[in-house]
Amino acid sequence: MAELEWEGLVAAEAAGQRLDQFLAEPLGSRARAARLIAAGLVSVDGRELAKRHSVRAGERVVVARETPGPAAASGPQPAQFEVVWEDEWLIVVDKPAGVVVHPARGHMTGTLVQALADRASGGEDPQRPGIVHRLDRDTSGLLVVAKSDAVHRRLKAMLADRSLRREYLTLVEGTPPARSGTIEAPIGRDRHDRLKHSVDSDAPRAAVTHFELVEVLAHAALLRVRLETGRTHQIRVHLQAIGHPVIGDSIYGGPMRFGLKRQFLHAERLAFTHPATGAPVDVRAPLPGDLTAALAAARAALL
Protein backbone atom coordinates (compact mmCIF):
# COMPACT_ATOMS: atom_id res chain seq x y z
CA MET A 1 0.00 0.00 0.00
CA ALA A 2 1.30 3.44 -0.94
CA GLU A 3 2.36 5.75 1.89
CA LEU A 4 -0.04 8.63 2.47
CA GLU A 5 0.91 12.26 1.91
CA TRP A 6 -2.47 13.70 2.96
CA GLU A 7 -6.08 12.61 3.51
CA GLY A 8 -9.18 14.60 4.33
CA LEU A 9 -12.84 15.31 3.75
CA VAL A 10 -14.14 18.22 1.70
CA ALA A 11 -15.78 20.75 4.02
CA ALA A 12 -19.02 22.44 3.01
CA GLU A 13 -17.30 25.82 2.54
CA ALA A 14 -14.82 24.27 0.06
CA ALA A 15 -17.49 22.73 -2.15
CA GLY A 16 -17.26 23.88 -5.74
CA GLN A 17 -13.51 24.43 -5.75
CA ARG A 18 -11.38 22.75 -8.41
CA LEU A 19 -9.54 19.73 -7.07
CA ASP A 20 -6.11 21.31 -7.57
CA GLN A 21 -7.31 24.49 -5.86
CA PHE A 22 -8.70 22.50 -2.92
CA LEU A 23 -5.35 20.70 -2.48
CA ALA A 24 -3.18 23.81 -2.87
CA GLU A 25 -3.04 24.57 0.87
CA PRO A 26 -2.35 21.07 2.26
CA LEU A 27 0.18 20.31 -0.48
CA GLY A 28 1.91 23.69 -0.43
CA SER A 29 0.94 24.96 -3.87
CA ARG A 30 -1.59 24.54 -6.66
CA ALA A 31 1.23 23.63 -9.06
CA ARG A 32 2.33 20.73 -6.85
CA ALA A 33 -1.27 19.59 -6.47
CA ALA A 34 -1.70 19.57 -10.25
CA ARG A 35 1.51 17.57 -10.65
CA LEU A 36 0.41 14.90 -8.17
CA ILE A 37 -3.04 14.69 -9.75
CA ALA A 38 -1.47 14.21 -13.19
CA ALA A 39 0.78 11.48 -11.74
CA GLY A 40 -2.29 9.53 -10.56
CA LEU A 41 -1.47 9.99 -6.88
CA VAL A 42 -4.77 11.65 -5.94
CA SER A 43 -8.11 9.91 -5.53
CA VAL A 44 -11.55 11.29 -4.71
CA ASP A 45 -13.82 8.69 -3.10
CA GLY A 46 -11.55 6.06 -4.59
CA ARG A 47 -11.53 7.48 -8.13
CA GLU A 48 -8.79 9.29 -10.03
CA LEU A 49 -10.29 12.53 -11.35
CA ALA A 50 -8.99 15.47 -13.38
CA LYS A 51 -7.63 18.57 -11.64
CA ARG A 52 -10.65 20.54 -12.90
CA HIS A 53 -13.06 18.30 -10.95
CA SER A 54 -15.32 20.40 -8.70
CA VAL A 55 -15.15 18.89 -5.24
CA ARG A 56 -18.33 18.24 -3.28
CA ALA A 57 -18.91 18.40 0.47
CA GLY A 58 -18.15 15.10 2.16
CA GLU A 59 -15.90 13.67 -0.57
CA ARG A 60 -12.81 11.93 0.77
CA VAL A 61 -9.62 13.04 -0.94
CA VAL A 62 -6.52 10.88 -0.57
CA VAL A 63 -3.02 11.86 -1.75
CA ALA A 64 -0.31 9.19 -1.97
CA ARG A 65 3.29 10.17 -1.27
CA GLU A 66 5.64 10.52 -4.25
CA THR A 67 8.35 7.87 -4.48
CA PRO A 68 11.38 7.87 -6.79
CA GLY A 69 11.22 5.56 -9.77
CA PRO A 70 13.53 2.53 -10.08
CA ALA A 71 15.78 4.39 -12.52
CA ALA A 72 16.42 7.25 -10.11
CA ALA A 73 19.57 5.75 -8.61
CA SER A 74 21.24 5.38 -12.01
CA GLY A 75 19.90 8.59 -13.52
CA PRO A 76 21.50 12.04 -13.62
CA GLN A 77 22.99 13.24 -10.35
CA PRO A 78 21.09 15.99 -8.50
CA ALA A 79 22.23 19.56 -9.04
CA GLN A 80 24.75 20.81 -6.51
CA PHE A 81 24.06 23.96 -4.48
CA GLU A 82 24.76 25.52 -1.10
CA VAL A 83 22.07 26.70 1.30
CA VAL A 84 22.89 30.12 2.73
CA TRP A 85 19.54 30.81 4.43
CA GLU A 86 16.54 28.63 5.21
CA ASP A 87 13.48 28.68 7.41
CA GLU A 88 9.97 27.25 7.20
CA TRP A 89 8.90 29.80 4.57
CA LEU A 90 11.75 30.12 2.09
CA ILE A 91 15.25 29.06 1.13
CA VAL A 92 18.13 31.07 -0.34
CA VAL A 93 20.66 29.01 -2.29
CA ASP A 94 24.05 29.73 -3.84
CA LYS A 95 23.87 28.16 -7.30
CA PRO A 96 27.17 27.19 -8.93
CA ALA A 97 27.87 27.86 -12.61
CA GLY A 98 26.79 25.02 -14.89
CA VAL A 99 23.54 24.30 -13.03
CA VAL A 100 20.26 24.97 -14.87
CA VAL A 101 17.52 26.39 -12.64
CA HIS A 102 14.49 24.59 -14.10
CA PRO A 103 13.78 22.04 -16.86
CA ALA A 104 13.92 23.44 -20.38
CA ARG A 105 14.66 22.20 -23.86
CA GLY A 106 17.99 20.38 -23.77
CA HIS A 107 18.10 20.36 -19.95
CA MET A 108 15.25 18.20 -18.67
CA THR A 109 17.12 16.61 -15.76
CA GLY A 110 19.71 17.55 -13.17
CA THR A 111 18.17 20.98 -12.51
CA LEU A 112 18.06 23.01 -9.32
CA VAL A 113 14.27 22.69 -9.18
CA GLN A 114 14.53 18.92 -9.18
CA ALA A 115 17.18 18.97 -6.46
CA LEU A 116 14.82 21.12 -4.35
CA ALA A 117 11.73 19.01 -5.08
CA ASP A 118 11.03 18.19 -1.41
CA ARG A 119 11.61 21.76 -0.19
CA ALA A 120 10.32 24.19 -2.83
CA SER A 121 6.70 24.96 -3.60
CA GLY A 122 4.47 27.73 -4.91
CA GLY A 123 3.53 29.30 -8.20
CA GLU A 124 1.35 28.29 -11.12
CA ASP A 125 4.02 26.53 -13.20
CA PRO A 126 4.48 22.87 -12.16
CA GLN A 127 7.88 22.88 -13.91
CA ARG A 128 9.12 25.70 -11.65
CA PRO A 129 7.79 25.13 -8.11
CA GLY A 130 8.91 27.88 -5.76
CA ILE A 131 11.04 29.69 -8.34
CA VAL A 132 10.75 33.46 -7.96
CA HIS A 133 13.56 34.55 -10.30
CA ARG A 134 16.29 32.72 -12.20
CA LEU A 135 19.95 32.80 -13.13
CA ASP A 136 21.50 31.75 -16.43
CA ARG A 137 23.21 28.35 -16.40
CA ASP A 138 26.71 29.85 -16.39
CA THR A 139 25.92 32.61 -13.89
CA SER A 140 26.65 31.70 -10.27
CA GLY A 141 25.16 33.07 -7.08
CA LEU A 142 22.07 33.66 -5.01
CA LEU A 143 18.45 32.69 -5.66
CA VAL A 144 15.49 32.88 -3.29
CA VAL A 145 12.99 30.02 -3.54
CA ALA A 146 9.55 29.87 -1.91
CA LYS A 147 8.08 27.00 0.07
CA SER A 148 4.40 27.87 -0.41
CA ASP A 149 2.01 29.67 -2.71
CA ALA A 150 1.53 32.53 -0.26
CA VAL A 151 5.27 33.20 0.09
CA HIS A 152 5.77 32.82 -3.66
CA ARG A 153 3.11 35.47 -4.31
CA ARG A 154 4.68 37.89 -1.82
CA LEU A 155 8.19 37.44 -3.21
CA LYS A 156 6.88 37.92 -6.76
CA ALA A 157 5.19 41.12 -5.61
CA MET A 158 8.54 42.32 -4.20
CA LEU A 159 10.13 41.69 -7.58
CA ALA A 160 7.36 43.67 -9.24
CA ASP A 161 7.61 46.65 -6.88
CA ARG A 162 11.45 46.44 -6.94
CA SER A 163 11.84 45.96 -3.19
CA LEU A 164 13.78 42.70 -3.60
CA ARG A 165 17.34 43.92 -4.10
CA ARG A 166 19.58 41.85 -6.42
CA GLU A 167 23.24 42.80 -6.78
CA TYR A 168 25.86 41.18 -9.02
CA LEU A 169 29.61 41.41 -9.45
CA THR A 170 30.88 41.36 -13.02
CA LEU A 171 34.17 41.92 -14.81
CA VAL A 172 33.74 43.82 -18.06
CA GLU A 173 35.88 44.73 -21.04
CA GLY A 174 37.24 48.28 -20.83
CA THR A 175 36.23 50.92 -18.27
CA PRO A 176 32.89 52.79 -18.29
CA PRO A 177 33.27 56.57 -18.62
CA ALA A 178 31.43 57.20 -15.33
CA ARG A 179 31.88 55.71 -11.86
CA SER A 180 28.16 54.92 -11.74
CA GLY A 181 25.27 54.96 -14.13
CA THR A 182 21.91 53.61 -15.20
CA ILE A 183 21.22 51.75 -18.42
CA GLU A 184 17.59 52.11 -19.42
CA ALA A 185 17.00 50.28 -22.69
CA PRO A 186 14.12 47.90 -23.55
CA ILE A 187 15.12 44.30 -24.30
CA GLY A 188 13.52 41.52 -26.33
CA ARG A 189 14.48 38.69 -28.65
CA ASP A 190 17.03 39.84 -31.19
CA ARG A 191 15.61 40.59 -34.65
CA HIS A 192 18.30 38.56 -36.40
CA ASP A 193 19.27 35.81 -33.91
CA ARG A 194 16.40 34.16 -32.04
CA LEU A 195 18.80 32.58 -29.56
CA LYS A 196 19.91 35.99 -28.30
CA HIS A 197 18.24 38.92 -26.58
CA SER A 198 18.94 42.47 -27.63
CA VAL A 199 18.00 46.14 -27.51
CA ASP A 200 17.32 45.63 -31.26
CA SER A 201 14.04 43.73 -30.96
CA ASP A 202 10.58 43.68 -32.47
CA ALA A 203 9.03 43.06 -29.04
CA PRO A 204 11.09 45.00 -26.48
CA ARG A 205 10.16 45.15 -22.80
CA ALA A 206 11.29 47.83 -20.37
CA ALA A 207 14.63 47.04 -18.70
CA VAL A 208 16.69 49.07 -16.20
CA THR A 209 20.16 48.21 -14.89
CA HIS A 210 22.26 50.25 -12.44
CA PHE A 211 26.05 49.90 -12.12
CA GLU A 212 28.87 51.19 -9.92
CA LEU A 213 32.59 50.99 -10.64
CA VAL A 214 34.36 48.90 -7.97
CA GLU A 215 37.86 48.56 -9.39
CA VAL A 216 39.75 49.58 -12.53
CA LEU A 217 42.04 46.89 -13.95
CA ALA A 218 44.14 46.40 -17.09
CA HIS A 219 41.69 46.97 -19.95
CA ALA A 220 38.90 45.76 -17.65
CA ALA A 221 36.73 46.91 -14.77
CA LEU A 222 35.01 45.21 -11.85
CA LEU A 223 31.43 46.47 -11.52
CA ARG A 224 28.68 46.06 -8.96
CA VAL A 225 25.39 45.83 -10.85
CA ARG A 226 21.85 46.13 -9.48
CA LEU A 227 18.83 44.91 -11.38
CA GLU A 228 15.69 47.01 -11.30
CA THR A 229 13.94 44.73 -13.79
CA GLY A 230 14.70 41.11 -14.64
CA ARG A 231 14.67 40.47 -18.38
CA THR A 232 16.42 37.45 -19.84
CA HIS A 233 20.21 38.08 -20.11
CA GLN A 234 19.55 41.68 -19.02
CA ILE A 235 22.95 42.49 -17.50
CA ARG A 236 24.83 40.85 -20.35
CA VAL A 237 22.76 42.60 -23.03
CA HIS A 238 22.89 46.04 -21.38
CA LEU A 239 26.63 45.96 -20.79
CA GLN A 240 27.24 44.87 -24.38
CA ALA A 241 24.98 47.71 -25.54
CA ILE A 242 27.20 50.34 -23.86
CA GLY A 243 30.38 48.80 -25.25
CA HIS A 244 31.54 46.94 -22.12
CA PRO A 245 30.57 43.27 -22.54
CA VAL A 246 31.01 40.82 -19.66
CA ILE A 247 34.41 39.14 -19.95
CA GLY A 248 34.04 35.46 -20.79
CA ASP A 249 30.59 35.91 -22.36
CA SER A 250 30.85 34.02 -25.65
CA ILE A 251 27.29 34.93 -26.69
CA TYR A 252 27.47 38.70 -26.19
CA GLY A 253 31.02 39.40 -27.26
CA GLY A 254 33.04 39.29 -24.05
CA PRO A 255 36.56 37.93 -24.67
CA MET A 256 37.80 34.81 -22.88
CA ARG A 257 40.55 36.37 -20.76
CA PHE A 258 42.20 35.72 -17.39
CA GLY A 259 41.69 31.94 -17.62
CA LEU A 260 37.88 32.17 -17.70
CA LYS A 261 35.73 29.44 -19.25
CA ARG A 262 32.38 31.21 -18.65
CA GLN A 263 31.07 34.72 -18.15
CA PHE A 264 32.32 36.61 -15.10
CA LEU A 265 28.89 37.22 -13.58
CA HIS A 266 27.95 36.37 -10.00
CA ALA A 267 24.77 37.15 -8.04
CA GLU A 268 26.56 38.29 -4.91
CA ARG A 269 23.80 39.82 -2.75
CA LEU A 270 20.07 39.45 -2.05
CA ALA A 271 18.27 41.79 0.34
CA PHE A 272 14.56 41.93 1.11
CA THR A 273 11.97 42.09 3.87
CA HIS A 274 10.96 38.59 4.94
CA PRO A 275 7.47 38.00 3.48
CA ALA A 276 6.23 36.15 6.58
CA THR A 277 8.04 37.71 9.54
CA GLY A 278 8.82 41.22 8.29
CA ALA A 279 12.46 40.87 9.41
CA PRO A 280 15.24 42.13 7.11
CA VAL A 281 17.06 39.43 5.15
CA ASP A 282 20.44 40.42 3.67
CA VAL A 283 22.67 37.60 2.42
CA ARG A 284 25.85 37.50 0.37
CA ALA A 285 27.74 34.81 -1.51
CA PRO A 286 31.51 35.17 -2.05
CA LEU A 287 32.95 34.85 -5.53
CA PRO A 288 33.50 31.18 -6.46
CA GLY A 289 36.98 29.87 -7.10
CA ASP A 290 37.08 30.33 -10.88
CA LEU A 291 36.05 33.99 -10.64
CA THR A 292 38.39 34.66 -7.72
CA ALA A 293 41.27 33.27 -9.79
CA ALA A 294 40.25 35.33 -12.83
CA LEU A 295 40.08 38.51 -10.74
CA ALA A 296 43.54 37.79 -9.33
CA ALA A 297 44.85 37.32 -12.89
CA ALA A 298 43.26 40.61 -13.95
CA ARG A 299 44.90 42.41 -11.02
CA ALA A 300 48.27 40.82 -11.82
CA ALA A 301 48.01 42.13 -15.38
CA LEU A 302 48.48 45.63 -13.94
CA LEU A 303 51.99 44.75 -12.80
| Geometric angle at alpha carbon 187, from 183 and 191, rounded to 5° | 135
Please say if 282 is a catalytic residue: no
Backbone angles phi, psi at 47, to 5 degrees: -115, 145
Catalytic residue among 94, 136, 149, 290: 136
Hey, which residues are catalytic here?
136
